[in-house]
Amino acid sequence: MEYGFNIEINPEHFSLTDEVADFKRTLETFTIKLKNYLLKDNVSIDAKTVIKHLFPAQQCDIFISHSSRDQGLAIQLALDLKKKGITAFIDSTVWGSAYDLLKAIDEKHCKIEGTTRYHYDLRNRSTAHVYMILATALQQMISDSTALFFLNTDHSLSTQNSIENEDKTGSPWIHMELMFSHFIWQAKHAKELVVATESYAMDSVPVFHEAKTEHLKELTGLKLKRWIEGQPYPSDSQKILQSLSRLHGGFSPH
């Protein structure tokens, strides 16, 4: 990741088209077959194979970080960028697959025999493994991308739970993505290596995390839309990314 944008976006600027519904239907056919991930002992799971399946495209131009409640908006933005030759990765599009994988693992390894219930400790461990696989792959995607787009909406950041005007998020995934992108930015600018260990929780748990956005260039959704519409088509993706770089450094965000 070379740079990022904190995009205060209004969904009205990106009206959802029928393409979004088509995209979501395609996601629903993306199923998990646990046997594809098993090692030779037919019990152990190969994390590397899981990552390759959940993240078939190992490189993207733009990583879109967003609330799961803004998935439709993120998909529409990615589709608009794709029409201009830019590949965007939508982080939430792997969630369904990750949950399917977790369910398959729990059914095979964590179920209490003769019941529909699961062993508490075993399920906690399986969840930790799947979330760590997911977090590792997401961090690699962020690292390999040219830019990060953070969709700043009422769903992704919390003003009600803010302390001393600090940005807060109820999503551990947004927290992880923003923190990791901040570490990359810090390493690039301060030439320091930053290592951190985070504890991940389910989105349903009311825990609020720091949401670091000061390293991201502020941008309104309207200006982003105008920039996308102003890009020629067909065009070379490198030229468009150069234009995006100029957008990052060439104007006052407000």
Cis upstream peptide for 234 (omega within 30°) = yes
The answer to whether 127 and 102 are in contact (CB under 8 A) is yes
Residue 22 reports pLDDT greater than 60: yes
Written as one letter, the residue type at 101 is: L
Strand partners, 148: 4, 63
* pLDDT value at residue 254: 40
Residue 6 pLDDT > 90, yes or no? yes
How deeply is 130 buried, as exposed, middle or buried, from its count of CB atoms within 10 A (0-12, 13-18, 19+)?
Answer: buried
pLDDT at 43: 82
Helix (H, G, I), strand (E, B) or coil at 210: strand
pLDDT of residue 7: 94
Q: For position 192, what pLDDT does the model report?
A: 44
Q: Which helix (DSSP H) or strand (DSSP E) does residue 149 occupy?
A: strand 147-152
The token duo for 162 is: 């803010």
pLDDT given at position 44: 87
120 has which bridge partners?
none
Long-range contacts of 43-50 (CB under 8 A, 24+ apart): 45/105, 45/129, 47/129, 47/133, 50/101, 50/133
Who has greater pLDDT, 56 or 187? 187
Comparing 58-67, 69-78, 119-128, 213-222, the range with the smallest average pLDDT is 58-67
DSSP letter at 11 equals G
Q: Whats the size of the chain, residue-wise?
A: 254
- The pLDDT confidence band at residue 243, using thresholds 50, 70 and 90, is very high
Least confident segment among 10-24, 25-39, 157-171: 157-171
Q: Which of 8-12, 68-72, 83-87, 207-211 has the lowest mean pLDDT?
A: 207-211
Of the candidate ranges 91-100, 114-123, 228-237, the one whose mean pLDDT is the lowest: 91-100
pTM comes to: 0.81
- Compute the distance between CA of residue 193 and CA of residue 186 in angstroms, rounded to an integer: 8
Kindly tell me if the per-residue pLDDT of 15 is higher than 60. Answer: yes
**Residue 254 three-state SS:** coil
Q: How much is the pLDDT for 26?
A: 85
Share of the chain above pLDDT 90, in %: 35
Position 188 scores a pLDDT of: 77
pLDDT at site 59: 67
Q: What is the pLDDT of residues 181-205, one digit of tens each?
A: 999 988 877 654 444 333 334 455 5
- For the chain, the average pLDDT equals 82
- Count Cβ atoms within 10 A of the Cβ of residue 225 and give its class: 0-12 exposed, 13-18 middle, 19 or more buried: middle
- How many distinct helices (H) and strands (E) make up the chain? 8, 7
> What are the boundaries of each domain within the chain?
3-249
Whole-angstrom distance, CA of residue 103 vs CA of residue 9: 34
Residue 220 neighbours by CB under 8 Å, 6+ apart: 7, 8, 9, 253, 254
Task: Write the single-letter amino acid at 171.
Answer: S
Lowest mean pLDDT among 41-50, 137-146, 195-204: 195-204
The C-alpha atoms of residue 228 and residue 234 are separated, in whole angstroms, by 13
Query: Regarding predicted confidence, which is higher, 54 or 249?
Result: 249
